[in-house]
Amino acid sequence: MLVKFFKTEANGNPLGGLNYLLHDNRNATPEVLIGNPDVTRELLLQNEFTRAYTSGVLSFEEKAQDVDFETQMNLCKSFEKTLLAGLKEEQYDCIWIRHTDKKDGRLELNFHIVNKELTTNKRLLVYYDKIDRNRIDTWKSLQNDIYNFSDPSAPDKKRLTAWNNNFRDRREAVKLINEFVLDSYVNNEIKNQNDVVELLKSIPDIEITRITKNSISIKHPDFEKNIRLKGELYERTIKEPETLAAEKERAQREYEENREERIRENKRKLKQLNSSLAKKRYHHFAKFERIDFDNNNSANGIGRLSEREVSREQMARMQKLHSNERKQGLLLDRLASIREQIEQPELEEKPSEKYEQEIKTRLEKVRYESAANQLVIASSVRRIATAIREAIKTLRERTQELEEIIFFKREQRLDESRTTERNELRAEEQHVREVQSSEVLPTDHNKKSAGGGITL
């Protein structure tokens, strides 16, 4: 199992990630395990930040049927606890969506988190690679050891070459380069990283841009971004084929023997890292004013609240709905069976305790749907108001731009007028000088003639 975070575009479509994860144009329909897509969607539509969400996947080599449902749920909750350390469930919105549509039936548990702390409406930094990678890798290693999942960090999973995240033409180019280098390795033509660098330089149009301990980056005019070549063949130290096979087998035995020790160490390390992050997040959000859910739940008071307070009230409602959804599970799947039991004649005379409980559950579901509908309506009104404000703002900006253009045009005409006047004045002065010069020249000529020569 590995953990991968998806890239998100700055100022991109806030619903892009959620729509992709829920898109049903797949071999197998996506399944929502935890969370409520409607609540998540409303939160995303209220986005005020450069990036509205953080999303990623727990990707398994194992097939979906080989990992029982309880284990999948435990992994989701454990990952949430690590990634969002220091936060309670009501402070964030996280939805889990299962994919099983890959050709080989591999299991994928996708997570999607809104980048907003719900009790303060402040930005929530879910994951920062340079700081959080070590913590997430520790969690990944721990879960792989506990559940005996296929571990990409295991020695027997290490490959001579790797594909990385290259697709289409880039993937084909990397494939050809890998085959070229691998062929040279098999023929004992390369012994170290320097030999690989020289080999790559012999390929037309290839430029070496970066060399690290574990990789070589190249540039090719057909691709806008550089290509990073990874794998044992691109590392600083390259072993001979026979030596490499023996060392890999020995390393794998040691890796399996140290499993229990690794589990103990990773548990200790993860607890320490999570505790440190939890303290930082607690002190960070403690600085901000928190939403008072109890005093902001009156529908009659919405008209008297400021726009910010209305937004907070809607956030509070969504938070409560989301919390109820997580605690009660998927109520929609239960509604049909409850309706059937209500219609059964034997229950009309004397309902059982189970029947009474199911009626209560149904009533809660009805109230939930009513609140959700109110939420959608309020959100729609707010979006329309926001659109109107944006239109007015745009109109003002364009009016200001037009005024500036008129001002600059007026100044330009004045400058042209001044330039014309100056040119005309210079022309008149030049004409006067020419006239005066023509009157002086004959007199000088007469004086020269009378003197009998040129005076030096």
How far apart (Å, rounded) are the C-alpha atoms in residues 223 and 212? Answer: 21
Of 59, 72, 70, 142, the C-alpha closest to 102 is: 59
Q: Which of 20, 147, 255, 355 is catalytic?
A: 20
Q: At what angle do helices 129-147 and 259-285 cross, to 10 degrees?
A: 140
Any idea what DSSP says for residue 53? E
**Residue 7 is encoded by which pair of tokens?**
């890239």
Concatenating the DSSP letter of every residue in 270-291 gives HHHHHHHHHHHHHHHHTTSPPP
**Residue 137 is encoded by which pair of tokens?**
């890798």
Whether 20 sits among the annotated catalytic residues: the reply is yes
- Mention every residue, 6+ apart, whose C-beta is less than 8 A from residue 66: 107
How far apart (Å, rounded) are the C-alpha atoms in residues 450 and 455? Answer: 11
**Residue 218 is encoded by which pair of tokens?**
């190249």
**Residue 203 is encoded by which pair of tokens?**
């390929």
Q: The dihedral of CA 171, 173, 174, 178: what is its sign? A: positive
- Mention every residue, 6+ apart, whose C-beta is less than 8 A from residue 393: none
Q: Which residues are catalytic?
A: 20
